[in-house]
Amino acid sequence: MKKISIFLFLFIIVACKQKAKEKTQTEPFFPVLSYIKSQVTHVDTSFYPITKVSWLDSMHTDTTYIKREDFSNLAKDFLEIPDISATKYKELYTEEKFYDASLNTVILSYKPKDPGSAIIQRQEVLINHDLQGDKVNNLIIDLTIATKDSSVEKKLLWQVNKSFNVYSSVQKPGQAETIRRFKVIWNENNDE
């Protein structure tokens, strides 16, 4: 009888720990990739004028109007990120949630458990809280891509319903770092 009680006690403890583990693993991460795809679809079907502003090593180099059909190609850095909300990536990242009272913003922050093997080094979702409800304002993604001949760091900023920025820093052995930045604007004066 005593052995059965100990076995039952251990079984309950293991079951409770497993239940707690399942609960934390089933909470979904914010679907950043899906959200960006919906934004791209919206712009593709809109009549917004689209502008691209480019910089090379902090010098303004060009401002051009972009055809609607070229928008998704310009957004490819966002559209090709790994979807860390997918089951195969979710266990590789941690999620932190906090509230910034000075900005009246909830920040969802995702970081890799092993930064050395992850492409996405940081992903943040900034959600503004006001009387009209919660609204996603910004998506921030930091990437590190290592190839055999270079190291590329990208910082991506998506300003919901307004614009996006792509900042790239490329370092090749024996060469100076090259910094490129471009901003695509379609609705920046909108205060939605």
Compute the average pLDDT of residues 36-64.
92
Nearest to 127 by CA among 100, 146, 150, 145: 100
Structural domain spans, the chain: 29-185
What is the model's pTM? Answer: 0.81
Which pLDDT score, from 0 to 100, does residue 2 have?
Answer: 46
Separation of alpha carbons 138 and 125, rounded Å: 6
Which pLDDT score, from 0 to 100, does residue 15 have?
Answer: 52
pLDDT in tens, 12-23: 554 555 544 444
Block residue for tokens 């307004």: 162
Residues whose CB falls within 8 Å of the CB of residue 66, separated by 6 or more in sequence, listed in order = 50, 51, 52, 74, 184
Which pLDDT score, from 0 to 100, does residue 148 have?
Answer: 81
Mean pLDDT for all residues in the chain: 86
Contact 119, 82 (CB under 8 A): yes
Q: Is 40 helix (H, G, I), strand (E, B) or coil?
A: helix
